[in-house]
Amino acid sequence: MRVITFGTFDVFHVGHLKILERAAGLGDHLIVGVSTDALSIGKKGRAPIYSEADRMHIVSALSCVDEVFPEESLEKKRDYILQYEADILVMGDDWEGRFDDLGDVCDVVYLPRTPSISTTEIIEVVRQSR
């Protein structure tokens, strides 16, 4: 089974790793769409700390990840699923229900987020410790 998931993966942390490992465990080929800088700015109102090239480099180096591509638009999920012939879409449960309409082309699975860690929190802690 081919699994696809998406994310920004900025300031890569263990919550990112855990969801990728769990996503990989649902199949035998994991494809990851990494949000471009432009998409991230549109989504979160700020540029990621790490560049798109570095974020893709980090994610593609993980042993649980087989393929990485730049995710240019949130609206293109259906196209990406078809293009990469994914059987399962995995998203964190912060997106619960948001992609149920894609259930006609693949299984849609929401996995629980790892508690108490986020890029925003890391940035805040680092900022306050300066």
Site stretch for ligand C2G (CB under 6 A), options 13-21, 57-65, 79-87, 100-108? 13-21
Give yes or no for residue 4 binding ligand C2G (CB under 6 A).
no
Check residue 31 and report its DSSP letter: E
- Structural tokens at position 125: 């802690």
Non-local CB neighbours of 44 within 8 Å, separated by 6+ positions: 8
* Pattern 74-103, ligand C2G, x by CB under 6 A: x----------------xx-x---------
Radius of gyration of the chain (CA): 14
Q: Which of 51, 117, 124, 126 binds ligand C2G (CB under 6 A)?
A: 117
Q: Are 4 and 88 in contact (CB under 8 A)?
A: yes
Residues that bind ligand C2G (CB under 6 A): 6-10, 15-16, 19, 35, 71, 74, 91-92, 94, 113-114, 117-118
